[in-house]
A and B are shown apart, each in its own frame.
Chain A
Amino acid sequence: MTVTEEYRPVFAGKVQDELRQILTRYPTKQAALLPALWLVQRERGWISDRNMTEVAEALGVTPAYVKGVVTFYTMYHQHPVGRHFVQVCTTSPCNICGAEEVVKALLQQTGANDPGATSPDGAWTIVEVECLGACGFATPILINDDFIENVTPEKVPDLVRKYR
């Protein structure tokens, strides 16, 4: 398949202004890489190879370098994810409080079925993540940017309904 659609840059207009503002905080352009990638993900939902090339050009590094950084950090998506991206902590402290049951309930209720897979309607992706840093509020989950504490399997149906 040939890509015919013209590339629409992320860093244009308001977003470009945001990047300019970010660049003033650092003595090097390269240091703006993580914030620039966050902007791309906010605008496009994920970071494509073409996006990485654009970021590379904007910051004076190579596309391969950008890819090296993107792949190091778990929060950058290298492929599209569901409209609701759900991260569930299953590290020990949450694990002993029933986190794996929360994952099962979420997979069932959303139809995503498999961790990392997206539900057929494109709405949900559920992933297990390591420590979310809220161990006293087991089980914490992140639905996009919403941090939700004390989730139990019983609370999952209502939660899913609320976001649906």
Chain B
Amino acid sequence: MGFPHKPHPKETVVLSQYFGDPEARTHKGWVKRGGYEALAQALKMEPAAVTDVVKESGLRGRGGAGFPTGLKWSFMPKEKKRPHYLCVNADESEPGTFKDREIMRWTPHALLEGTAIAAHAIQAEVAYIYIRGEFTEPWAIMEQALAEANAARVFGKIAIHLHRGAGAYICGEETALMNSIEGKRGNPRIKPPFPAAAGLFGLPTTINNVETLAAVPPILTRGAAWYKAMSLSNPKSTGTKLFSVCGHVQRPGNYEVTMGFPLKDLVYELSGGMRAGRTLKACIPGGSSVPILNREETERTLLDYEGCVAAGTMLGSGGVIVFDDSTDMVYQIMRLARFYAHESCAQCTQCREGTAWTTKILERILAGQGKTKDLDLLLDLSENMTGKTICVLSDSCAAPVVSGIQKFKNEFEDYIAGRRKPMLVA
């Protein structure tokens, strides 16, 4: 569901407060709504003091990893001897996730303000916002907002540039993104060195997700204690989070709730539940790279970092994909495997070969030519694709395959035993 729409009473509206309000896109409109006050406040503070406020708030990275933001900033050299960089990851490409797109479309200045505050905190004079190539509309809006903010000279000494991607999911991986800005193929780098030591152009760099940075201005103006108090379940997960809900629900769209919110309320109430006559079969709560939940697990999962781990999955990017009982799980898992095979940068053998073979075996099963041992073969392959490569793309391919076989094994067996009509031509 697009904006404007009235927020659901169970939503906690912070980031999405001005979604659907075209005036908030303009510099004038943003200032009228209290925008750029946080930046003015930050620029008067010592960089380390800004970092401390963010640390105290408990804000964690919203791109998928959930690393504490303030702690990440504190890894940057305190004494600046060489240029520092900030990269903003707006390469939103995780299937199921479309929240950063909405932030950039409706509140571009929230992102720009958060970017400038972060740049000040880590003593960077240049920030690059890496926007995926397909996001033509967010790009145009960000470009306009940046021009207006620059004309009003709100960023002090900080220069913010937009950098357009060109179609590569892997560039959402932090070091691949840096390579891409440097004009290289988007291959992830071996870590260490970590970006804070040697990142963009080999210099100290911090990289943050769009949603993470958009949360920073309100933390500064309303205080760390206010942010930290927003937590429904585990004190280690604080604040609000945008969840993108898609798939078989009546009202797909972005919903902002407090950390620890029940997944079942998000799916059944906020998103309007299933279509008439349909029931929930499965749900992927954190973008396609995290393990699939069955119905019973979905109904007891709490949406925060710890709650998702307790349910055997991950909060990831907050991209919630809902599948009803009409779904062919084998086919959809094959589609996901095909996605990862297509997006593998092909540096590591386990990933290049593993994603391709996983896809081939799944296609074979769907063509009615699967063998009984194929499921064990897929699990064995997945094990060899997990924790063995430079980045986690290969692990991400294994997650839906392993959890899918565990939870929906009968559907795979039906194809193999010939009880189900082949979906694909051999």
| Interface members, chain A 6-27 (any B CB < 8 Å) | 25-27
Q: Which residue of A lies closest to B168 (CB)?
A: A73
Q: How large is the interface on A (under 10, 10 to 19, 20 to 34, 35 or more residues)?
A: 35 or more
Residue of A26, A72, A75, A87 contacting most chain B CB atoms (<10 Å): A72
Distance of A133 Cα from B336 Cα, bound (Å): 14
Inter-chain contacts of B101 with A (CB < 8 A): 133-134
Interface-forming stretch among B59-67, B91-99, B228-236? B91-99
The answer to whether B134 and A135 touch across the interface, beta carbons within 8 angstroms, is: no
Q: A130-B169, A138-B246 are in contact. Are A75 and B182 (CB under 8 A)?
A: no
**A63 on interface, CB distance cutoff 8 Å:** no
Contacts of A46 in B (CB 8 A): none
Closest to B159 in A: A25
Instruction: State which of A34, A76, A96, A135 has its C-beta within 8 Å of the C-beta of B98.
Output: A135
Which residues does chain A contribute within 8 Å of B247, judged by CB atoms?
93, 96-97, 135
| A76–B83 alpha-carbon span in the complex (Å) | 32
Residues of A within 8 A of B201 (CB): 27-28, 31
> Which of A31, A33, A61, A135 is close to B96, meaning CB atoms less than 8 Å apart?
A135
Q: Which of A82-138 contact B (CB under 8 A)?
A: 87, 90-93, 95-97, 129-138
Measured in the bound complex, the distance between the Cα atoms of B186 and A81 in whole Å is 24
Q: Which one of A27, A34, A87, A131 lies within 8 Å of B94 (CB-CB)? A: A131
**Complex: A31 Cα to B183 Cα, angstroms:** 4
CB neighbours (8 Å) of B135 from chain A are 133, 147
Q: Which of B133, B134, B201 has the most CB of A within 10 A?
A: B134
A25: B residues at CB distance < 8 A = 159, 161
Q: Is the CB of B332 within 8 A of A69?
A: no
In chain B, what residue has the closest Cβ to A136? B252
Size category, B interface: 35 or more
Which A residues are CB-close (under 8 A) to B95? Answer: 91-93, 130-131, 135
A76's contact among B132, B166, B186, B336, by CB below 8 Å, is which? B166
> Which residues of chain A have C-beta atoms less than 8 A from B321's C-beta?
92-93, 135
The answer to the question of B69 belonging to the interface, with a C-beta cut-off of 8 Å to chain A, is: no
A residues within 8 A CB of B2? 137, 149
Which chain B residues border A129 with CB–CB below 8 Å?
Answer: 134, 167
Task: For B183, give its contact among A59, A136, A137, A142 (CB under 8 Å).
Answer: A59
Interface residue? A157 (CB, 8 A): no
List the A side residues contacting B166 at CB < 8 Å.
34, 37-38, 73-76
Checking B132, B164, B339 against A35 with a beta-carbon cut-off of 8 angstroms, the contacting residue is B164
Give Cα A95 to B331, complex, Å. Answer: 10
CB of A158 within 8 A of chain B? no
For A69, the closest partner residue in chain B by CB is B185
Q: Do A30 and B169 touch (CB < 8 A)?
A: no
Given the complex, which residues of A lie within 8 Å of B164, measured CB to CB? 34-35, 38
Nearest B residue to A41, CB-CB: B166
Min CB distance B309 to A, Å, is 23
- Chain A nearest CB from B4 CB (Å) reads 15
Contacts of B244 in A (CB 8 A): 135-136
Report A-chain residues with C-beta under 8 Å of the C-beta of B186: 72-73
CB distance from A65 to the nearest CB of B (A): 9
C-alpha gap A34/B161 in the complex (Å): 14
B290 to chain A, nearest CB (A): 13
Give B182-205 interface residues, CB cut-off 8 Å to A: 182-186, 201
Contact residue among A28, A34, A59 (Cβ-Cβ distance under 8 Å from B165)? A34
B33 in the interface (beta carbon within 8 A): no
Give the CA-CA distance A130 to B167 in the complex, in Å: 9
| Bound CA span A26–B83, Å | 12
Contacts of B246 in A (CB 8 A): 93, 97, 135-136, 138
Assess whether A154 is interfacial by the CB under 8 Å rule.
no
Task: Given A32-B183, A69-B185, A73-B168, decide whether A135 and B332 contact each other with a Cβ distance below 8 A.
Answer: no
The residues in B between 80 and 103 inclusive whose CB is less than 8 angstroms from any CB of A are 83, 92-98, 101
Is there an interface contact between B136 and A142, defined as CB atoms closer than 8 Å?
Answer: yes
Known: A34-B163, A37-B166. A133 touches B134 (CB 8 A): yes
CB < 8 Å: which of A34, A96, A134, A146 contacts B327? A96
In angstroms, Cα B183 to Cα A75, docked, is 15
- Considering the chains assembled together, what is the distance between the CA atoms of A95 and B83 in angstroms? 45
Q: Are B1 and A30 in contact (CB under 8 A)?
A: no
Give the residue of B83, B98, B167, B323 whose beta carbon is less than 8 angstroms from that of A136: B98
B58 at the A interface (CB under 8 A): no
Residue B285 at the A interface, CB < 8 A? no
Cβ < 8 Å to A, chain B residues 259-279: none
A92 partner residues in chain B, CB cutoff 8 A: 95-96, 288, 321, 332, 335-336, 339
- Contacting A at CB under 8 A, from B333-361, are 335-336, 339, 342-343, 345
Known contacts A96-B327, A133-B101; 19 additional CB pairs below 8 A are: A25-B159, A34-B183, A61-B183, A73-B166, A73-B168, A92-B336, A92-B339, A93-B95, A93-B247, A130-B169, A131-B93, A131-B95, A133-B92, A135-B97, A136-B253, A137-B2, A147-B134, A147-B135, A149-B2
Could you show 16 A-B contacts with beta carbons less than 8 Å apart? A26-B181, A28-B182, A34-B180, A34-B183, A37-B166, A38-B166, A72-B168, A74-B167, A90-B335, A92-B288, A97-B247, A133-B92, A134-B98, A135-B244, A135-B319, A142-B134
Binding site for B on A (CB under 8 A): 25-28, 30-35, 37-38, 59, 61, 68-69, 72-76, 87, 90-93, 95-97, 129-138, 142, 145-147, 149
